[in-house]
Structure 1
Amino acid sequence: MGLVLDDNKYYLFSRRANDKIVVYHQEQVNGPLVDESGRVIFADFNPSKRPWSVASDDSNNSWNPAYNCFDRPGKKCISFTLRINGKDHDLLAVDKIHVDLNWRYLNEYLDQISANDEVLFLKQGHEIIAKNQLAREKLIIYNSEGNYNIIDSVDTEYIAKTSAVPNNALFEIYFYYPAVIY
């Protein structure tokens, strides 16, 4: 998780495999990003140039396209970025909060919690963010009528229904069920 303060300084909190939380921070705006011991990790770190910051500049919050994780070489991440406005901005002295999700970790987590079901995370615009093992075995097609068809070896078509999450315009829940019940 990262925080961009209202003075543009940046803090990053990252959990390691041994459950240790590592903290990176900046002493000066766009200056070096250093770890807890003061060792320079990134010489000229400008948070406003990071993919999660650029993608969120046009809105209060956004899911951002996949990018190379900053502190996990070779790994792809997606981020949810929340821009803090109004009274909360003044109270917290925080401009943006971003949460990075490693795709592999998210897919493995979905496998653990939903082994017998098909689970997908979809971004607005119908991009698949993550899915569990059962869903990875399916071919998912978004058609011109605005519906998803999920094709596998048994069912030939699924009917899709959506429901909005109350008080949260960012999320919709998609329900799928076979067009033919066996």
Structure 2
Amino acid sequence: MANDMPREFSARLGTVESELRALWLQAQAGDEAAYRDVLGRIARLLRAYLRRRMAGWQDDVEDLVQECLLALHLQRASYDPAQPLSAWVYAISRHKLIDFWRRNRRYGALNDSIDDVDELLLAGEAIEPMSHVDLARLLSLLPEAQRRAIELTKLEGLSVAEAAARIGMTEGAIRVQVHRGLKRLSLLVKVVI
């Protein structure tokens, strides 16, 4: 059964691509209902794509989704029906994401360093002792629940379920505390540094 999973997943992706492409072509032919439907579906896919790539900027995801949709609308004549629609959508959204990072580059590194603490530790990169002091100082400024949720999930590497069990919170509450804590940390970094 495990061997069938990639095939099923691949088939599902092919189905989604076919459905999106068919709707897009109907929209190009003037079908307004198909246009609304395909833009709604693309918007959901873009939100998921951008949320994964904008960890410290969740408040900006929806704005960027709208920018991408506008770009798709304005560039709709550039779509080549012989090519996959998803590749065209991805290319445009990737360019919009790059534009976003360029506009916000002076803060990007600050957010990455806090959001990606677990990746830095796993990669074995040496973190300077001063960084530990700075991080400890910033974490101490957070409310207890936010600080503890971040320490358990991001620094100790526990899963959300493990962290929830350890401190007696629900998994949803842990996720909310981590999200709010990271958001507050990004603001604190801008003020403190």
TM-score normalised according to structure 1 size? 0.23
Relative CO higher for 1 or 2, CA cutoff 8 Å, sep ≥ 6? 2
TM-score by length of 2: 0.22
Q: Which has the larger radius of gyration?
A: 2
More strand by percentage: 1
